[in-house]
Structure 1
Amino acid sequence: MYKVMLADDDYPVIELLSEEIDWQSLGFRLMGTHGNGASAWEQAQEEMPDVLITDIGMPAMDGLELTARMKERNPGLRAVILSCHDEFQYARQAMRLNVQEYFLKDALDPEDLVRLLRRLKMSMDEELQAGWEQSRLKALENETRSLRQERIIRNFIDQPLLSPDQWKREAEALGLLRDGEAVLPAVGFVNHYGQLRRRFSSEQTLRFAVGNVADEVLGGIGFSGLHVAFDARTALFLFAYRPSLKTNPYDCASASLRAVREALRSVLGVRMSFLIGGECASPESLRRQLRELLGSAEQRFYLKEGEIVKRFASASASSASSASRASSASRASSASSASSASSASCASSASCASSALPALPGTDLFSYYDLASTELREALVGKSAAEAEEVAGRWIRLIERERYAPESVKDWTLKLLLDLKLKLHSLHFIGSGYTADTLHKEIADIDSLGELRDWLVGHLQEFVRVAGQGGASGAKRADVQEACKYVSLHLSRRITLEEVADHLHLNASYFSRLFKKELGITFIEYVTRMKMERAKELLDQTQRSVGEICEMLGYDNQSYFIKTFKAHAGMTPAEYRG
């Protein structure tokens, strides 16, 4: 008898399917029903189902992630998707999920599911007779092709080009640089990589997910495009075309990348930014362009989330900027003195605006360090999360305007945060919080200025939250306190019980029981409560729309966010704002 698991946060759907379907007569055993993906995954680690029937949008872990994790453990899993909408155009092949079917909830008829279950049982019976290996040959063949493409491109980039003709033959086998054709390369950068790596549980799952959606999109467009995974953070896109006055390859490539970007966002909740290189008609020019694209660390740092732009024509502007900064040490010293004076005056006026700072060419970012530290410390001592966020935003805008070297910006921000923690701790304002080693590891995963801003603001908000509550949560146990701090620092995204348990080096089931015993509510309930309290703050203190706040708190579905807020506050976000 085959095992079936149901996962859906819509209880009437669970009730309907549980009671209306005679599972046993169909040859199935209903092994469990779950209201969120995290709970379903917890049971699956102990007993894996043969068939998973899951909603897409669920708290803690969505249906796509749940399916991906289960497929990693059990490649033969049959997955059936339930959806409240019809935007699931790519999900059948996304992440190599091989989803058997999906149903719209508003048109769900249990009899349709019964017919599908009969077909699934028949196919599983046949597989038992024929053997699993034979049914996997095609999937393995596809995977081998992707790995071969990756190997060819990697060798082309990393190794000396001793025989352009030989590589051109390999390129032609990939559909590139054929007679009379050129190539337009682009590179895609995964946004918020550190968060995604935890959500997808492994780099391999993330790479497969992104690659599968990208391949699906590129296979359905008229402009010839090849996707090659470079690493978990980076993907290469190679667009082959025949030069013509009637065709603008940049416009075609941009349109293709927009389609990839939107598919990744809607299907996987993954954001990606892109740099487009120059036109290439030879192996030498293509190799040079790919190396330059992958080496564009500074432009990548200043890319906005989801942005698609051309790579700078050369690195000369960046080099000139660095040279200008290096040759103006005396001016930077003068600016430092001016900043110190400004810092003193700001000590008596919280309204000092860093946006009014003089833009001195070549001024080193550290010249402004004392001023930034003073402004942020005053906002934090005043226990105003909104003011601290505004101050941080002004400094980020200054950094974006002056385009300082990424490593200098990260060093400056890390030093600023560590000094603030030290000074505020000495005033008994906050607890010790995260260690310097933890902060170093976190900032190492940051690839863009936008991500850096979110990271800094998250920690500033945690300072204010802890000060206002006299502690992170009222919990006595250190590990539960640490879990609550982790939640406060990551309210901008989905947070799973498994990732926090892993952060604490605890078994997930043990941590779940421990958390509820300590605070009287489940971990998921606590996360929801913290997100809704943050939503209230944003509604009270900012003019951001409900949709913007929904995205800021890691919700993909605005309807679900509004429903959750109403359950928490007794009114919708719009009614709360009044």
Structure 2
Amino acid sequence: MYSVMMVDDDYPVLEYLSASIPWKELRLEVHSMCKNGAVALERAQASLPDIVITDIGMPQMDGIELIGELKRLKPDIRCVILSCMGDFAYAQQAVRMQVDDYVLKETMRPEQIASLLRKLSDQIAAGEEQTRQLARMQSKKEENALLFRQGLLERMTADGGRDLSWAEGAADAGIDFEGKVWLPVLVAMNRWSELSRRMPDERAVQISLGQAAAGLAYELPGTVLLPHGRREAMLLFPFRRSLTEMKVESVRPFLRGLGERLSQASGICATFLIGISAAAPAALGRAAEQLLSSGAGRFYLPDEGVFTLAELPVTVEGDLHALYPEALQRIRDAFLEEDEALLERTIRDWLDQVREKRCRPELVKEWTLKILYDNQMRFLALQHYQSIFSMEVLHRTLGDIGTLQELGDWMLQFFKERMPLLGLIYKQSRRSEILRAQQYVSHNIGSKITLEEVADMLHINSSYFSRLFKRETGYNFIQYVTTAKMERAKELLARSNMSVEEVAARLGYENKSYFAKLFKKHIGGTPGEYRGD
């Protein structure tokens, strides 16, 4: 539905038009009725109409001046002059301003105005459809260009860069080797889960990157952008072979500027990794393939910045097995205490240890997933927590995380978002004494815990506490403590390389045989059988 502004200092004319035009039938609505051009311009600046019908001679601002101002605000606005002036000079001015029609008031009829408005509405609709068609054509053109360039990069890096068939069509993308050396730079877009919420169309992300990178073509003529998948791209910078300046240092400021444009325009966090320059197709293919295979090292780089291959961290085939039990317990305790500051420090400590180890990203994500999963299982064992997330969704989210920095921020946010749940969980019991007792057990799971010491901590009679705990939870207190310890034992046996003796000692059992007996009673098998020894 299009809107119509009517402007005339003769108010009966406005009332007449408002009452006599079949607005709904024409699928039009009255934008406003204004007594002069100055009032109309003020209304239009707040909200532009699609069509304006205006008188010419009005105080403060006449119709010709109003149309000129409206055309500056909206060049395609449709304008009709409605006047009692038959002077040819006004008609000439109207023609020069591309006014759509000029109607004399003394000959004006409602059906004439309605017919004119219908014609203008049809013209606006036709113009909009033409704009949509052009946009679709442009979008298709850009999509085809993206597919061609993406396919070119895939062929360039195929077979370790040894397949040179791609070079035949490279000129169509602006890549030639006559007197040139090409410097490849990988663009890695990080924090993908956040970005995909803002820009769910993956193609739009690559188009945004292309638009932001277009400025480089003016600053560094001949620059080529080749997309790779949904979150990477390759920039190729051309240099003359005779150029003696340092190529790497010359592109750094341009890459920093591109990173700022991406961040400001689209909220994209990008890491730039500068590769090895190449003067021949085979060398460029190998250099590009080396950059694309740098994902493991890039995991340990910041979310944003410009780096070279020499600055790329080297990952190792290590393990995080020994770090896991302590990290799990500390993160769990900080979460249970609802201490955000402690939780953040604990997660950062875990990540610092991970950074020092420099293990493969897949392994880091696997152990992080175990921490989240084991935390859930612990709450289920304590009857405090119901599953509120899908392991499949978690696994997919972790897979999209590109850097250790992003992993830490996401992990902290994951726990923070769930902290309010603890308050609800704690309110499920009618007695604060029971909640404090359960928290005490969780925090002291590695010690020998007696009913008397917990009752003393709560400053209540031990017999009364025993009856109260049974009534509130359905568990005998000692059974509750033993169950919690056995669940913790399962975690240690499954997730660490501790011996059975070490697990027993970790949980406050001095006698290995007694621990094994309790474990079998609760779990249905010995610790060795559970572990699969």
Q: Same fold, TM exceeding 0.5?
A: yes
Alignment match, 2:332: 377
Higher CA-based Rg: 2
Query: 1:284 offset after TM fit, Å?
Result: 0.9
Superposed CA offset, 1:206-240 (max 9, x none): 2222222222x222313542111111111111111
Number of equivalenced pairs = 336
Residue aligning to 2:235: 237
Deviating more after overlay: 447-456 vs 410-419: 447-456
Give the distance between the partners of 1:239 and 1:468, measured in 2 at CA. Answer: 56
Residue of structure 1 equivalent to 2:173:
174
Deviation of 1:424 after TM superposition, in Å, equals 2.6
1:48-63 matches, cutoff 5 A: none
Residue-by-residue CA offset, 1:304-358 (whole Å, 9 max, x unaligned): 111211124999x54xx43xx4xxxxxxxxxxxxxxxxxxxxxxxxxxxxxxxxx
Match of 1:334 in 2: none
Letter in 1 for 2:416: Q
SS at match of 2:218: coil
Cα deviation, 1:530-555, whole Å, max 9, x if unaligned, reads xxxxxxxxxxxxxxxxxxxxxxxxxx
Which residues in structure 2 correspond to 1:426-505 (within 5 Å)? Answer: 426-470=381-425
Q: Which stretches in structure 2 are left out of the alignment for 5+ residues? A: 5-41, 54-65, 79-97, 99-122, 428-533
Match of 2:323 among 347, 361, 368: 368
Are 1:420 and 2:375 matched, yes or no?
yes
Residues 207 and 231 in structure 1, CA contact (< 8 A), matched pair in contact too: no
- The aligned amino acid for 2:193 is G
Distance 1:254 1:470 in 2: 52
Q: Structure 2 length as normaliser, TM-score?
A: 0.56
2:49 maps to a residue whose letter is: W
Residue 406 of structure 1 deviates from its aligned partner by 0.6
Hey, what does 2:208 align to over in structure 1? 209
Letter in 1 for 2:268: V
> For residues 65-102 of structure 1, what are the alpha-carbon distances to aligned partners after superposition, in whole Å with 9 as ceiling and x for unaligned?
xxxxxxxxxxxxxxxxxxxxxxxxxxxxxxxxxxxxxx
Among 266, 284, 289, which residue is 2:287 paired with?
289
Answer yes or no: is 1:115 the counterpart of 2:141: no
SS of aligned partner of 2:302: coil
Q: How far 1:394 moved relative to its partner?
A: 1.0
Q: Secondary structure at the match of 1:434?
A: coil
SS of equivalent residue, structure 2 residue 188: strand
Contact 2:212 / 2:261 at 8 angstroms: preserved in 1? yes
Paired letter, 1:115: R
| Residue 199 of structure 2 is aligned to residue 200 of structure 1 | yes
Indicate the SS of the match to 1:214.
helix
State the AA in 2 paired with 1:218: L
Task: Give deviations 1:124-155, integer Å, cap 9, x for gaps.
Answer: 57747978656865665454344323322222
CA contact (8 A) 2:2 2:50 kept: no
Per the TM alignment, residue 169 of structure 1 is displaced from its structure 2 partner at its CA by 4.3
Which residue matches 2:256?
Answer: 258
Find the aligned partners of 1:409 and 1:368 in 2 and give their Cα distance: 11
Aligned-residue offset at 1:253: 2.3
Residue 156 of structure 2 aligns with which residue? 156
Distance, in Å, in 2 between the alignment partners of 1:304 and 1:250 is 19
- CA gap 1:469/1:290 in 2 versus in 1, 3 angstroms: same
Match of 1:547 in 2: none
Structure 1 residue runs without a partner (length 5+): 5-15, 28-108, 326-363, 473-578
**Deviation sequence 1:272-321 (CA, Å, 0-9, x none):** 11111101111111111111111112112112111211124999x54xx4
Contact 1:194 1:445 (8 Å CA) reproduced: yes
* Alpha-carbon distance between aligned partners in 1 of 2:335 and 2:155, rounded to the nearest angstrom: 51
Give the whole-Å Cα distance in 2 for the aligned partners of 1:412 and 1:206. 31
Q: Secondary structure at the match of 2:397?
A: helix
CA displacement at 1:180 relative to structure 2: 1.6
RMSD (CA atoms): 3.5
TM-score under structure 1 normalisation? 0.52
Give the superposition deviation at 1:399. Answer: 1.1
Alpha-carbon contact 1:210-1:264 (below 8 Å) kept:
yes
User: C-alpha displacement at 1:469, in angstroms?
Assistant: 4.8
Secondary structure in structure 1 of the residue aligned to 2:268: coil
Cα deviation 1:228-267 (Å, max 9, x = unaligned): 1111111111111113454221122222221211111111
Q: In 2, Cα distance between the equivalents of 1:390 and 1:120?
A: 59
Partners of 1:409 and 1:132 in 2: CA distance: 47
CA contact (8 A) 2:152 2:226 kept: no
**For residues 6-85 of structure 1, what are the structure 2 equivalents within 5 Å?**
23=49, 25-26=51-52
Task: State the distance in 1 between where 2:397 and 2:332 align.
Answer: 22
User: Closer, same or farther in 2 for the Cα pair 1:439/1:167, shift >3 Å?
Assistant: closer
